[in-house]
Chains A and B, each alone.
Chain A
Amino acid sequence: MMNCHDATFLMSQSRERTLSFSERMKLRLHIGMCRGCANFERQLPRLGDAAKAYASSSEQKDV
């Protein structure tokens, strides 16, 4: 059984490369049983969205 470190590592990599079939199966099995990793999976794309919002914002800092 995959642990949370390895599951989050695969989820992170899925933003850079296509996961193999067996990687996806192991990941789904873990996420199905792990609330923390299921939340992580939903939040991962939000980090990218936030980074883009950050780069294009006019109010990111109150100097």
Chain B
Amino acid sequence: MDQIARLGTEFADADPAFLARVREDMLRFARLQLGSDDEAEDAVQEALAGALKNVTNFRGEAALKTWIIAILKNKVADILRQRQRRPVVASQMQETDQEGALPAVFDRKGMWRDAARPARWEDPEAELHSSQFLAVFDACLNRLPPQQGRVFMMREIVELETQEICSELGLSVSNIHVILHRARLALRACLQLHWFHEGA
């Protein structure tokens, strides 16, 4: 917590509650990606320390958070890449239910069920950055089976290559393809239901 206090004094005009919230978000993200509380704590501390060094460049909380998260993403990617040079630990190999369920969007012939068929989304770009949309996105992401959420974030947020995700999680390329397919189907369905509901 002294890290927060220190940040508070460095960013004279930053709200301590905002910084505490950013730190929570970072920890959640790092824990999900790294699967280890200790390594997550370390990555977050380092990212915050890195941000402190460049403190003068920032105007406004949004820019500051973007910067801190960018540093954290790089840290997480570094840690994951380093791990690939180490032997895979047993706990990673024991997880057998790797893929999580296929969301129930198709009928027995593999065609869209009526209620799940993708409808047109009106003007999706405009809303991506609104806080309401991001709250819905957050809820939908958290509703995914854990492995699906983790792989989706590794791919789309940390932007790891498929091979890197494979080595990190001890999964095959086809596992990754199946997991990402299911994650995207489930996420899309959840967003349509809770956000883009018009015109269904």
Contacts and interface: CB of A to CB of B under 8 A. Distances in A.
Interface of A: 3-6, 8-9, 12-13, 15-17, 35-37, 39-40, 42-44, 46-63
A53 B129 contact: yes
B156 A3 contact: no
Interface residues of B, number: 51
Contacts of A60: 25, 131, 134-135, 137-138
Contact of A61 (B61, B69, B138, B176): B138
B181 interface: yes
B51 to A, nearest CB: 14
Instruction: Tell me whether chain B's interface is mostly helix, strand or loop, or mixed.
Output: helix
Contacts, number: 124
Contacts of A58: 18, 22, 61-62, 64-66
A3 B128 contact: no
Contact of B187 (A16, A47, A52): A47
A61 B185 contact: no
A56 to B, nearest CB: 5
